[in-house]
Amino acid sequence: MPLLVAGTNGVMALKIAKLTGYPICYSQIDRYPDGEKYFRFACDVEGEDIIIFNSMHPNPDEILFETILIADTAYQSGARTVSCVFPYFAYARTVERGKGEALPITTVVKMLKNADIRKVYTVDFHLQKNVFGVEHIDLTGMDRLAEYCMEEFSDSLTVIAPDEKATFWANKFAEKFGGEVIALKKIRIDAENVIVDPISLKLEGDVVIVDDIISTAGTVCQAARIARKAGCRKVFAACTHAIMAGDAMMRLLESGIEDVVATDTIPSPISHVSVAETIASALNF
């Protein structure tokens, strides 16, 4: 029976422990006065299959190091295998590099491989493909988000993908109720600023803008303004990972969005939908 190690997403680990019956392996992680990390297991892990729960937000570098520290300590303590559940996995946005630029995902993958992580679980992984070189199970929160939106927002929704990349998730969302998907086109200016092409569009009724991540909310806000100008009645937004950097929530509301919902891959004030059951089902091996 796997032992669940509650890392940064301990609440998720506890939910899944209740759903699966798998025990929690409690541990201590601390920091010395000089900033160095201290970690120890508070239970015996010898011969066990360890599953570490870590969402890589808000400090992905530190969380990545903690994951490797826990994994290495587990193997040194006699664990049989180590797997990781990353409800939110950082460093998955950049897929191409220019001359002299870093491609962080390749470095992160090397670190996980060197730590002998045997299996990786993610939820709506941004790259939409396995880059880990080990078994990768990517789950989705879109079906549960769709259920929530149909119950709480409107029972008749047009789904808008704010850019071409988001079409993948918008289609998953719409599959739940057979809704129509409209994809907008985004032009990125820099890390914080984008332009969404204001295509000719006529809308009626309610709209939900769907994406995997809302970070600064710039793309979703522009999509909301386009939907408003196109004549829709109300605009809502849904995402799996609510990073919500800076004043993102204020920007969303100022753009005319009525309400926003996210999953609990990253705990936040809008994380009303839990993916614990989805992850628990995948872990029932």
Let me know if 186 is a catalytic residue: yes
What's the start-to-end Cα distance of the chain, in Å? 9
Active-site pick, 176, 186, 202, 234 = 186
Pick the CATH number of 142-273 from 3.40.50.2020, 3.30.1540.20, 3.30.499.10, 2.60.120.10: 3.40.50.2020
How many other CB atoms sit within 10 Å of the CB of residue 249? 17
What pLDDT digit, counting tens, does each position of 145-190 carry?
999 999 999 999 999 999 999 999 999 999 998 888 999 987 666 6
Residue 201's pLDDT band (boundaries 50, 70, 90)? confident
Q: Over 70: is that where the pLDDT of 193 sits?
A: no
Spatial separation of the C-alpha atoms in residues 104 and 60, rounded to whole Å:
11
Spatial separation of the C-alpha atoms in residues 169 and 183, rounded to whole Å:
11
8 A C-beta contact, residue 25 and residue 33: no
Phi and psi dihedrals of 262, rounded to 5?
-140, 170
| Minimum mean pLDDT range among 5-14, 87-96, 146-155, 191-200 | 191-200
For the chain, what is the mean pLDDT? Answer: 93
Residue 192's pLDDT band (boundaries 50, 70, 90)? low
8 A C-beta contact, residue 63 and residue 56: yes
Residue 1's pLDDT band (boundaries 50, 70, 90)? confident
What percent of the chain is helix, strand and coil (3-state, nearest 5)?
Answer: 30, 25, 40
Pick the CATH number of 3-139 from 3.40.920.10, 3.40.640.10, 3.40.50.2020, 3.90.1150.10: 3.40.50.2020
Instruction: Please give the structure tokens belonging to residue 21.
Output: 């019956």
Cis peptide before 58 (omega within 30 of 0): yes
Spatial separation of the C-alpha atoms in residues 209 and 211, rounded to whole Å:
7
- The confidence score (pLDDT) of residue 94 equals 73
CATH 3.40.50.2020 in the chain: give the residue spans.
3-139, 142-273
What pLDDT digit, counting tens, does each position of 16-63 carry?
999 999 999 999 999 999 999 999 999 999 999 999 999 999 999 999
pTM of this structure: 0.94
Arithmetic mean of pLDDT, 106-130: 96
| Minimum mean pLDDT range among 150-159, 163-172, 193-202, 233-242 | 193-202
